[in-house]
Amino acid sequence: MSEKEIAQQAQRKLQTAVLHNISRLFEPSTNKNGIRLNTSVKSRFNKGQLVRLSVVGPKHLYVQNYGFEGVKKNGINMRLKGTDVVNSAIQSSNVVEFLAQALTEHRADEIMVQLKG
């Protein structure tokens, strides 16, 4: 299995978990589909090796995740507690453990091939 295939599996796991947490957080009666539809997970590579997975979404996703404290446009002070949508998705999907295991095996195999070659 190549690193791109490993990254694609990790992307699917993390994206499913993030979208599930968004669906669980918001009631179906409220129209929050914009957050759900515009949220994705992207992988970044450097010299053929996976460097990171990034959760990309609208500003509202990060306001929900980290919270907000400040003055709104209409001049009213507001405090919103963070819900850890993204962090809980990372933990529930076990994507870190999956990546650690899969990438370690893949890169160890590459090193063995280079040493034998």
How far from chain centre, in Å, is Cα 43?
10
Cα(110)–Cα(105) distance, rounded to whole angstroms?
Answer: 9
| Residue 111: predicted pLDDT | 86
The reported pLDDT for the residue numbered 40 is 92
Task: Report helix, strand or coil for 64.
Answer: helix
Q: Give the pLDDT mean for 61-89.
A: 90
Coil/strand/helix, residue 52: strand
Structural domain harbouring 29? 3-116
Instruction: Assess whether pLDDT exceeds 90 at residue 54.
Output: yes
C-alpha dist (Å) from residue 88 to 1, 37, 48, 72:
28, 19, 29, 27
| Structural domains in the chain (count) | 1
DSSP 58: -
> Binning pLDDT at 50, 70 and 90, where does residue 112 land?
confident
Looking at residue 28, its pLDDT comes to 61
Neighbours of 96 (CB within 10 A): 13
pTM: 0.81
